Structure 1
Amino acid sequence: MSISGLFLFVALSEMYDHFYRVFHLSAAAMGVEYSDTLLRSWGFIVVVVAPSGGIIYLLYGFMFKPVPFVMPDEGRGGDPSGNERERRTFFGLSTFIVSFVILTVSFLIVSPVVDERAQEAVKGYRVEPVRFADMVVLDLHATPVKRVSPIAEASQAPVPRGRLIYLGNDDRSYVLYNVDTKDVIRLSAERFILST
Protein backbone atom coordinates (compact mmCIF):
# COMPACT_ATOMS: atom_id res chain seq x y z
CA MET A 1 0.00 0.00 0.00
CA SER A 2 2.98 2.31 0.54
CA ILE A 3 3.81 1.97 -3.17
CA SER A 4 0.25 3.07 -4.01
CA GLY A 5 0.69 6.08 -1.74
CA LEU A 6 3.93 6.94 -3.51
CA PHE A 7 2.21 6.70 -6.92
CA LEU A 8 -0.57 8.94 -5.62
CA PHE A 9 1.84 11.57 -4.32
CA VAL A 10 3.94 11.54 -7.52
CA ALA A 11 0.83 11.92 -9.71
CA LEU A 12 -0.54 14.80 -7.61
CA SER A 13 2.85 16.54 -7.43
CA GLU A 14 3.21 16.31 -11.20
CA MET A 15 -0.25 17.85 -11.70
CA TYR A 16 0.55 20.79 -9.42
CA ASP A 17 3.96 21.21 -11.07
CA HIS A 18 2.25 21.12 -14.47
CA PHE A 19 0.12 24.11 -13.46
CA TYR A 20 2.98 26.18 -12.01
CA ARG A 21 5.45 25.24 -14.77
CA VAL A 22 3.75 27.74 -17.09
CA PHE A 23 4.98 30.47 -14.74
CA HIS A 24 8.47 28.91 -14.50
CA LEU A 25 7.70 27.86 -10.93
CA SER A 26 7.31 24.53 -9.17
CA ALA A 27 4.90 23.33 -6.50
CA ALA A 28 7.85 23.05 -4.10
CA ALA A 29 8.83 26.67 -4.80
CA MET A 30 5.25 27.65 -3.93
CA GLY A 31 5.54 25.92 -0.57
CA VAL A 32 3.33 22.95 -1.55
CA GLU A 33 4.78 19.99 0.35
CA TYR A 34 3.76 16.35 0.87
CA SER A 35 1.04 16.99 3.46
CA ASP A 36 -0.25 20.04 1.57
CA THR A 37 -0.47 18.05 -1.65
CA LEU A 38 -2.59 15.33 -0.03
CA LEU A 39 -4.78 17.68 2.03
CA ARG A 40 -5.43 20.02 -0.89
CA SER A 41 -6.43 17.11 -3.15
CA TRP A 42 -8.67 15.00 -0.91
CA GLY A 43 -11.27 14.68 -3.68
CA PHE A 44 -8.68 13.16 -6.02
CA ILE A 45 -7.70 10.68 -3.31
CA VAL A 46 -11.34 9.67 -2.77
CA VAL A 47 -11.97 9.33 -6.50
CA VAL A 48 -8.88 7.13 -6.92
CA VAL A 49 -8.98 5.11 -3.70
CA ALA A 50 -12.67 4.16 -3.91
CA PRO A 51 -12.48 2.48 -7.34
CA SER A 52 -9.06 0.97 -6.59
CA GLY A 53 -10.30 -0.58 -3.35
CA GLY A 54 -13.46 -1.87 -4.99
CA ILE A 55 -11.65 -3.47 -7.92
CA ILE A 56 -9.03 -5.08 -5.68
CA TYR A 57 -11.74 -6.39 -3.36
CA LEU A 58 -13.67 -7.92 -6.27
CA LEU A 59 -10.57 -9.47 -7.84
CA TYR A 60 -9.38 -10.85 -4.53
CA GLY A 61 -12.82 -12.24 -3.74
CA PHE A 62 -13.22 -13.77 -7.19
CA MET A 63 -9.87 -15.54 -6.99
CA PHE A 64 -9.85 -16.71 -3.38
CA LYS A 65 -13.26 -16.02 -1.76
CA PRO A 66 -11.63 -14.65 1.44
CA VAL A 67 -13.18 -13.09 4.49
CA PRO A 68 -13.64 -9.43 3.41
CA PHE A 69 -10.56 -7.30 4.05
CA VAL A 70 -8.88 -9.94 6.25
CA MET A 71 -5.39 -10.85 5.14
CA PRO A 72 -4.08 -14.38 5.77
CA ASP A 73 -3.02 -15.09 9.36
CA GLU A 74 -4.99 -12.15 10.70
CA GLY A 75 -7.32 -13.72 13.21
CA ARG A 76 -7.63 -17.05 11.37
CA GLY A 77 -4.60 -19.01 12.63
CA GLY A 78 -3.00 -19.56 9.23
CA ASP A 79 -4.27 -20.78 5.91
CA PRO A 80 -5.14 -24.46 5.88
CA SER A 81 -5.47 -24.57 2.08
CA GLY A 82 -1.81 -23.68 1.51
CA ASN A 83 -2.66 -20.67 -0.67
CA GLU A 84 -1.36 -18.05 1.75
CA ARG A 85 1.70 -17.10 -0.27
CA GLU A 86 -0.32 -16.96 -3.49
CA ARG A 87 -2.92 -14.74 -1.90
CA ARG A 88 -0.36 -12.36 -0.45
CA THR A 89 1.43 -12.14 -3.80
CA PHE A 90 -1.85 -11.61 -5.65
CA PHE A 91 -2.97 -8.93 -3.21
CA GLY A 92 0.33 -7.05 -3.55
CA LEU A 93 0.47 -7.28 -7.34
CA SER A 94 -3.18 -6.43 -7.85
CA THR A 95 -2.85 -3.41 -5.55
CA PHE A 96 0.18 -2.23 -7.51
CA ILE A 97 -1.33 -2.80 -10.96
CA VAL A 98 -4.80 -1.42 -10.23
CA SER A 99 -3.39 1.65 -8.47
CA PHE A 100 -0.97 2.30 -11.32
CA VAL A 101 -3.67 1.96 -14.00
CA ILE A 102 -6.23 4.12 -12.20
CA LEU A 103 -3.66 6.81 -11.37
CA THR A 104 -2.43 6.84 -14.97
CA VAL A 105 -5.96 7.14 -16.36
CA SER A 106 -6.80 9.85 -13.81
CA PHE A 107 -3.64 11.73 -14.72
CA LEU A 108 -4.47 11.56 -18.44
CA ILE A 109 -8.00 12.85 -17.76
CA VAL A 110 -7.03 15.64 -15.35
CA SER A 111 -3.86 16.87 -17.13
CA PRO A 112 -5.71 18.62 -19.99
CA VAL A 113 -7.90 20.37 -17.41
CA VAL A 114 -4.82 21.53 -15.50
CA ASP A 115 -3.25 22.77 -18.74
CA GLU A 116 -6.42 24.68 -19.61
CA ARG A 117 -6.50 26.30 -16.14
CA ALA A 118 -2.84 27.30 -16.44
CA GLN A 119 -3.47 28.96 -19.82
CA GLU A 120 -6.44 30.84 -18.35
CA ALA A 121 -4.24 32.13 -15.51
CA VAL A 122 -1.51 33.25 -17.94
CA LYS A 123 -4.15 35.31 -19.77
CA GLY A 124 -5.22 36.96 -16.52
CA TYR A 125 -8.41 35.05 -15.77
CA ARG A 126 -9.48 33.77 -12.37
CA VAL A 127 -8.80 30.06 -11.81
CA GLU A 128 -10.86 28.05 -9.34
CA PRO A 129 -10.04 24.60 -7.92
CA VAL A 130 -10.72 21.57 -10.12
CA ARG A 131 -13.76 19.76 -8.72
CA PHE A 132 -15.52 16.45 -9.24
CA ALA A 133 -18.94 15.84 -7.65
CA ASP A 134 -18.33 18.93 -5.47
CA MET A 135 -15.05 17.47 -4.15
CA VAL A 136 -11.79 19.37 -4.58
CA VAL A 137 -9.64 17.26 -6.90
CA LEU A 138 -6.85 19.83 -7.31
CA ASP A 139 -6.71 23.01 -5.26
CA LEU A 140 -5.42 25.33 -8.00
CA HIS A 141 -5.82 29.07 -7.61
CA ALA A 142 -5.07 32.16 -9.64
CA THR A 143 -6.77 35.40 -8.64
CA PRO A 144 -6.65 38.76 -10.45
CA VAL A 145 -5.27 41.49 -8.19
CA LYS A 146 -7.30 44.69 -8.02
CA ARG A 147 -4.78 46.72 -6.09
CA VAL A 148 -1.38 46.50 -4.39
CA SER A 149 -0.87 48.93 -1.51
CA PRO A 150 2.17 49.52 0.69
CA ILE A 151 1.38 48.94 4.37
CA ALA A 152 3.10 52.18 5.42
CA GLU A 153 2.07 55.26 3.44
CA ALA A 154 5.58 56.65 3.70
CA SER A 155 7.09 53.43 2.33
CA GLN A 156 9.39 53.93 -0.62
CA ALA A 157 8.89 50.34 -1.84
CA PRO A 158 7.99 50.35 -5.54
CA VAL A 159 4.48 49.13 -6.31
CA PRO A 160 4.31 46.83 -9.35
CA ARG A 161 2.16 47.96 -12.26
CA GLY A 162 0.18 46.06 -14.87
CA ARG A 163 -2.32 43.21 -14.77
CA LEU A 164 -1.31 41.03 -11.84
CA ILE A 165 -2.42 37.53 -10.89
CA TYR A 166 -2.00 36.25 -7.34
CA LEU A 167 -0.72 32.65 -7.39
CA GLY A 168 -0.06 32.03 -3.70
CA ASN A 169 2.40 32.61 -0.89
CA ASP A 170 6.03 31.58 -0.62
CA ASP A 171 7.85 32.12 2.68
CA ARG A 172 6.06 35.32 3.78
CA SER A 173 5.92 36.66 0.23
CA TYR A 174 3.07 37.04 -2.23
CA VAL A 175 3.79 35.35 -5.53
CA LEU A 176 2.31 37.34 -8.41
CA TYR A 177 2.38 36.94 -12.16
CA ASN A 178 2.44 40.04 -14.36
CA VAL A 179 0.27 39.24 -17.38
CA ASP A 180 1.68 42.16 -19.38
CA THR A 181 5.41 41.56 -18.85
CA LYS A 182 5.17 37.74 -18.29
CA ASP A 183 7.27 38.10 -15.14
CA VAL A 184 6.90 36.46 -11.73
CA ILE A 185 7.01 38.99 -8.89
CA ARG A 186 7.55 38.29 -5.20
CA LEU A 187 6.30 40.93 -2.78
CA SER A 188 6.89 40.93 0.95
CA ALA A 189 3.64 40.23 2.81
CA GLU A 190 5.03 42.42 5.59
CA ARG A 191 5.28 45.47 3.32
CA PHE A 192 2.29 45.16 0.99
CA ILE A 193 -1.44 44.43 1.10
CA LEU A 194 -3.22 42.83 -1.84
CA SER A 195 -6.82 43.47 -2.79
CA THR A 196 -8.30 40.72 -4.95
Structure 2
Amino acid sequence: MSTNNISRRGFLGASAAVMAGVAGLAATGCSAESSLEATDAKGMPIDPAKGGEWTSAACWHNCGGRCMNKVMVKDGAVIRQKTDDTHEDSFDYPQQRGCVRGKAQQQQCFGADRLKYPIKRKTWSPENPNGEMRGKDEWERISWDEAISYIGDQFKTIKEKYGNQAFLLGSYGSRLAFAPLLAWGGHTSTADTTSHGAYLLNTANTI
Protein backbone atom coordinates (compact mmCIF):
# COMPACT_ATOMS: atom_id res chain seq x y z
CA MET A 1 0.00 0.00 0.00
CA SER A 2 1.40 3.42 -0.88
CA THR A 3 1.95 5.78 2.05
CA ASN A 4 0.25 8.43 -0.10
CA ASN A 5 -3.04 6.64 0.62
CA ILE A 6 -2.61 6.25 4.37
CA SER A 7 -5.38 7.75 6.48
CA ARG A 8 -4.84 10.93 8.47
CA ARG A 9 -5.26 9.05 11.73
CA GLY A 10 -2.83 6.37 10.69
CA PHE A 11 -0.34 8.94 9.46
CA LEU A 12 -0.41 10.93 12.68
CA GLY A 13 -0.07 7.82 14.78
CA ALA A 14 2.79 6.45 12.73
CA SER A 15 4.71 9.69 12.36
CA ALA A 16 4.59 11.01 15.92
CA ALA A 17 7.90 9.33 16.65
CA VAL A 18 8.93 8.48 13.12
CA MET A 19 12.08 10.23 12.02
CA ALA A 20 15.00 9.04 9.96
CA GLY A 21 18.78 8.79 9.91
CA VAL A 22 21.26 8.30 7.13
CA ALA A 23 22.13 4.71 7.92
CA GLY A 24 18.54 3.55 8.00
CA LEU A 25 17.60 5.52 4.90
CA ALA A 26 20.71 4.44 3.04
CA ALA A 27 19.82 0.83 3.71
CA THR A 28 16.19 1.20 2.73
CA GLY A 29 16.17 4.07 0.27
CA CYS A 30 13.72 6.93 0.11
CA SER A 31 10.97 4.99 -1.61
CA ALA A 32 7.45 6.07 -0.69
CA GLU A 33 6.23 2.51 -1.18
CA SER A 34 5.55 0.39 1.90
CA SER A 35 3.32 -2.47 2.90
CA LEU A 36 2.33 -0.72 6.13
CA GLU A 37 -1.42 -0.77 6.77
CA ALA A 38 -3.15 2.01 8.68
CA THR A 39 -6.10 -0.10 9.86
CA ASP A 40 -7.12 -3.75 9.93
CA ALA A 41 -10.14 -5.31 8.22
CA LYS A 42 -12.41 -4.01 10.97
CA GLY A 43 -11.04 -0.49 10.69
CA MET A 44 -9.04 -0.72 13.92
CA PRO A 45 -5.63 1.01 14.02
CA ILE A 46 -2.63 -1.25 13.52
CA ASP A 47 0.59 -0.56 15.37
CA PRO A 48 2.96 0.29 12.50
CA ALA A 49 5.97 -0.66 14.64
CA LYS A 50 4.92 -4.29 15.04
CA GLY A 51 7.53 -6.45 13.37
CA GLY A 52 9.96 -3.56 12.91
CA GLU A 53 13.66 -3.71 13.72
CA TRP A 54 15.72 -1.04 15.47
CA THR A 55 19.09 -0.17 13.96
CA SER A 56 21.69 2.53 14.58
CA ALA A 57 21.69 5.48 12.20
CA ALA A 58 23.62 8.69 11.67
CA CYS A 59 22.38 12.27 11.36
CA TRP A 60 23.13 13.86 8.00
CA HIS A 61 23.12 17.44 9.32
CA ASN A 62 26.77 17.13 10.37
CA CYS A 63 26.59 19.65 13.21
CA GLY A 64 29.25 17.81 15.19
CA GLY A 65 26.94 16.85 18.06
CA ARG A 66 27.38 13.11 17.48
CA CYS A 67 23.90 12.53 18.93
CA MET A 68 22.60 8.99 19.21
CA ASN A 69 20.06 8.23 16.56
CA LYS A 70 18.25 4.92 16.15
CA VAL A 71 15.60 4.15 13.55
CA MET A 72 13.03 1.40 13.27
CA VAL A 73 12.86 -0.18 9.83
CA LYS A 74 9.87 -2.19 8.65
CA ASP A 75 9.13 -3.40 5.14
CA GLY A 76 11.92 -1.30 3.71
CA ALA A 77 10.86 1.97 5.34
CA VAL A 78 11.95 3.97 8.38
CA ILE A 79 8.83 4.29 10.53
CA ARG A 80 10.10 5.40 13.95
CA GLN A 81 13.08 7.02 15.57
CA LYS A 82 14.43 7.21 19.09
CA THR A 83 17.48 8.75 20.67
CA ASP A 84 19.68 7.84 23.62
CA ASP A 85 17.89 5.51 26.04
CA THR A 86 20.86 3.39 27.05
CA HIS A 87 20.98 4.87 30.56
CA GLU A 88 19.17 7.28 32.88
CA ASP A 89 19.74 10.95 32.10
CA SER A 90 21.74 12.85 34.76
CA PHE A 91 24.06 15.82 35.09
CA ASP A 92 26.99 13.49 35.66
CA TYR A 93 26.11 11.25 32.72
CA PRO A 94 23.75 13.07 30.32
CA GLN A 95 22.01 11.24 27.53
CA GLN A 96 23.26 12.03 24.03
CA ARG A 97 19.84 13.11 22.77
CA GLY A 98 19.09 14.12 19.20
CA CYS A 99 17.53 17.50 18.38
CA VAL A 100 14.23 18.29 16.68
CA ARG A 101 15.94 18.93 13.36
CA GLY A 102 17.56 15.51 13.44
CA LYS A 103 14.25 13.89 14.30
CA ALA A 104 12.66 15.49 11.22
CA GLN A 105 14.78 13.51 8.79
CA GLN A 106 12.13 10.91 8.09
CA GLN A 107 9.75 13.61 6.88
CA GLN A 108 12.47 15.13 4.73
CA CYS A 109 12.42 11.88 2.79
CA PHE A 110 8.85 10.65 3.18
CA GLY A 111 6.95 13.91 3.75
CA ALA A 112 3.78 14.44 1.75
CA ASP A 113 5.09 17.81 0.48
CA ARG A 114 8.45 16.44 -0.66
CA LEU A 115 9.23 17.18 -4.30
CA LYS A 116 9.44 13.91 -6.23
CA TYR A 117 10.04 15.24 -9.73
CA PRO A 118 11.26 18.46 -11.40
CA ILE A 119 8.86 21.38 -11.68
CA LYS A 120 9.16 24.94 -12.94
CA ARG A 121 7.07 28.07 -12.90
CA LYS A 122 4.66 28.11 -15.85
CA THR A 123 5.69 31.56 -17.04
CA TRP A 124 9.43 30.97 -16.60
CA SER A 125 11.69 30.50 -19.58
CA PRO A 126 15.42 31.07 -20.10
CA GLU A 127 14.64 34.00 -22.40
CA ASN A 128 12.00 35.57 -20.12
CA PRO A 129 12.22 34.50 -16.45
CA ASN A 130 9.27 36.72 -15.40
CA GLY A 131 10.78 37.23 -11.96
CA GLU A 132 7.83 39.34 -10.84
CA MET A 133 5.73 36.16 -10.86
CA ARG A 134 7.73 34.47 -8.13
CA GLY A 135 5.40 33.43 -5.34
CA LYS A 136 2.37 34.03 -7.57
CA ASP A 137 2.91 31.71 -10.51
CA GLU A 138 1.59 28.18 -10.91
CA TRP A 139 3.92 25.20 -11.22
CA GLU A 140 4.16 22.62 -13.96
CA ARG A 141 5.93 19.29 -14.08
CA ILE A 142 8.85 18.87 -16.48
CA SER A 143 11.03 15.90 -17.37
CA TRP A 144 14.42 15.21 -15.83
CA ASP A 145 16.04 15.82 -19.23
CA GLU A 146 14.39 19.24 -19.42
CA ALA A 147 15.47 20.12 -15.89
CA ILE A 148 19.08 19.09 -16.50
CA SER A 149 19.11 20.98 -19.78
CA TYR A 150 17.75 24.17 -18.15
CA ILE A 151 20.29 24.00 -15.32
CA GLY A 152 23.20 23.30 -17.67
CA ASP A 153 22.23 26.15 -19.98
CA GLN A 154 21.92 28.57 -17.04
CA PHE A 155 25.40 27.61 -15.81
CA LYS A 156 26.80 28.23 -19.28
CA THR A 157 25.04 31.61 -19.52
CA ILE A 158 26.35 32.73 -16.13
CA LYS A 159 29.91 31.73 -17.01
CA GLU A 160 29.79 33.48 -20.38
CA LYS A 161 28.29 36.71 -19.00
CA TYR A 162 30.00 37.03 -15.61
CA GLY A 163 32.83 34.52 -15.43
CA ASN A 164 33.50 31.75 -12.94
CA GLN A 165 33.72 34.20 -10.04
CA ALA A 166 29.91 34.45 -10.21
CA PHE A 167 29.60 30.93 -8.77
CA LEU A 168 29.60 31.39 -4.98
CA LEU A 169 29.94 28.32 -2.78
CA GLY A 170 29.87 28.43 1.01
CA SER A 171 31.72 25.92 3.14
CA TYR A 172 28.50 24.24 4.28
CA GLY A 173 26.42 21.98 2.10
CA SER A 174 28.21 22.68 -1.18
CA ARG A 175 31.06 20.21 -1.08
CA LEU A 176 29.73 18.03 -3.90
CA ALA A 177 29.85 21.03 -6.24
CA PHE A 178 33.49 21.92 -5.54
CA ALA A 179 35.21 19.42 -7.84
CA PRO A 180 33.00 19.93 -10.94
CA LEU A 181 33.30 23.72 -10.76
CA LEU A 182 37.04 23.57 -10.15
CA ALA A 183 37.39 21.39 -13.25
CA TRP A 184 35.25 23.92 -15.14
CA GLY A 185 37.33 26.96 -14.31
CA GLY A 186 36.81 27.60 -10.59
CA HIS A 187 34.41 29.45 -8.31
CA THR A 188 34.25 31.98 -5.47
CA SER A 189 34.50 30.48 -1.98
CA THR A 190 33.72 31.71 1.51
CA ALA A 191 35.38 30.79 4.78
CA ASP A 192 32.79 30.71 7.53
CA THR A 193 31.16 28.20 9.82
CA THR A 194 29.06 25.06 9.68
CA SER A 195 26.84 26.45 12.45
CA HIS A 196 23.38 27.24 11.08
CA GLY A 197 22.90 29.86 13.77
CA ALA A 198 25.92 31.88 12.70
CA TYR A 199 26.12 30.85 9.04
CA LEU A 200 24.46 33.82 7.34
CA LEU A 201 26.18 36.40 9.54
CA ASN A 202 29.61 34.92 8.91
CA THR A 203 29.00 34.59 5.20
CA ALA A 204 28.02 38.27 4.99
CA ASN A 205 31.20 39.22 6.81
CA THR A 206 33.46 37.26 4.52
CA ILE A 207 32.09 38.25 1.12
> Do the structures match in fold with TM over 0.5?
no
Q: Which band: TM-score by shorter chain?
A: under 0.3
- Higher share of residues assigned helix: 1
- Higher share of residues assigned strand: 1
- What's the TM-score once normalised by structure 1's chain length? 0.27
Asked which structure has the greater RCO (Cα within 8 Å, sep 6+), the reply is 1
- Which of structures 1 and 2 has the bigger CA Rg? 1
